């Protein structure tokens, strides 16, 4: 098991966002995390990457509890995130944004050339400021930057946010290629169909708790809708 989360509790000050979340992920598999706005999906990803310190429970990555680790330590262990809204560094060029992915000094499998092969349009824009690109191109930079950190586990938060359907399709197709290399993936999405289609299994989260889990094959739309919206 690459990632195992047990009884995870976390929040923002006095507001609790996660109430005993349990999750497990096999190496090389893809998990979709679905849920409505404010369900706790992004909070869960932020806990895994160390951006939020959990108030209880364990995050076992490679059998090591990383719940108290700093984000840069977690990055150095091979967990990368594509944040919601891309969050490119506005004062850096496309190439500099990509290079920043290598800050964690992990052994390099992903290189600039490999990222440009994966996202050919980026090569032509390498000297342009990241924020001057279109939304889809910025998302490519964000995914490329995460890959440049040579992750074993990639967390993608709302990849489709604000993008045209054709661009979303392209990005997901690219992710499919990447997962064939053995990369594990957690996808957070509000677009249920997109997320489940791209994953081996799914979890539905509501009000900070896992309310439904299943595999792509046994995904029941009625059950998911009930879990997603509650009563």
Partner 1 sequence: MPDTPQVKSSFSWQIKKPIAGPIILALAAVFCAVFPLFGSTGTLRLMNEIMALMIMAQAWNLLAGFTGFVSIGQQAFIGIGAYGLFVTSIETGLNPFAAVFLGGLAAAVVGILSAPALFRLRGPYFAIGTWVLAELFRIVILNTQKFGSGSGLTLARVIKTIPREYRTSGTYWVALFLTVFTIFLVYFLLRSRFGLAVRTVRDNEASAESVGVNILRIKFIVFIISAFLTGCAGAISYLNTMFINPYATFSVEWSALLIFVVIIGGIGTIEGPFIGVLFYFFLRETLSDFGTWYIIALGLVAIAMMLFVPNGLWGMVSKRFNINLFPTGATVVMKKG
**Residue 87, interface with partner 1 (CB under 8 A)?**
yes
Q: How far is the CB of 46 from partner 1 (least distance, A)?
A: 8
Among the residue ranges 12-20, 29-37, 84-92, 205-213, the one whose residues contact partner 1 (CB under 8 A):
84-92
Is 24 in contact with 63 (CB distance < 8 Å)? no
| 73 scored as a contact of partner 1 (CB under 8 A) | yes
CB of 73 to partner 1, least distance (A): 5
How does strand 201-206 pair with strand 184-189?
unpaired
* Closest to partner 1 by CB, 84 or 170: 84
Q: Which of 135, 123, 132 is CA-nearest to residue 95?
A: 123
Q: What's the N-to-C CA distance of the chain in angstroms?
A: 34
- Of 198, 226, 194, give the one whose Cα is nearest residue 212: 226
Counting contacts by CB under 8 A, is residue 83 touching partner 1?
yes
Work out how close the CB of 181 gets to partner 1 at its nearest, in angstroms, rounded to a whole number.
Answer: 17
Query: Any contact of residue 164 with partner 1 (CB under 8 A)?
Result: no
Contacts of 77 (CB under 8 A, 6+ apart): 61, 62, 64, 66, 69
Q: Which of residues 23-52 bind partner 1 (CB under 8 A)?
A: 49-51
CA distance 112 to 58: 35
- Which stretches of the chain bind partner 1, using CB under 8 A? 49-51, 64, 66, 69-78, 80-81, 83, 87-93, 95-96, 99-108, 111-112, 127, 145-146, 149
């Amino acid at each position: 098991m690459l990632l195992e989360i047990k009884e995870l509790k976390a929040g923002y000050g006095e507001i609790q966002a996660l109430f005993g979340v349990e999750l497990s992920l096999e190496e090389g598999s893809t998990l979709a995390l679905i849920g409505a706005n404010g369900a706790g999906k992004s909070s869960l990803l932020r806990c895994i990457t160390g951006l939020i310190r959990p108030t209880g429970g364990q995050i076992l990555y490679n059998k090591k509890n990383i719940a108290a680790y700093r984000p840069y330590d977690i990055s150095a262990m091979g967990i990368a995130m594509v944040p919601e809204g891309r969050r490119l560094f506005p004062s850096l060029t496309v190439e500099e944004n990509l290079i920043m992915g290598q800050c964690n000094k992990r052994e390099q499998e992903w290189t600039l050339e490999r990222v440009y092969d994966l996202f050919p349009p980026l090569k032509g824009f390498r000297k342009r400021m990241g924020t001057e690109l279109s939304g889809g191109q910025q998302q490519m930079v964000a995914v490329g930057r995460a890959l440049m950190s040579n992750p074993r586990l990639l967390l993608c938060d709302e990849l489709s946010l604000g993008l045209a359907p054709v661009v979303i399709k392209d990005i997901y197709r690219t992710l499919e290629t990447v997962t064939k290399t053995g990369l594990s993936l957690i996808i957070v999405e509000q677009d249920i169909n997109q997320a489940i289609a791209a994953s081996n299994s799914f979890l539905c989260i509501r009000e900070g708790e896992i309310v439904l889990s299943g595999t792509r094959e046994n995904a029941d739309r009625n059950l998911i809708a009930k879990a997603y919206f509650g009563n």
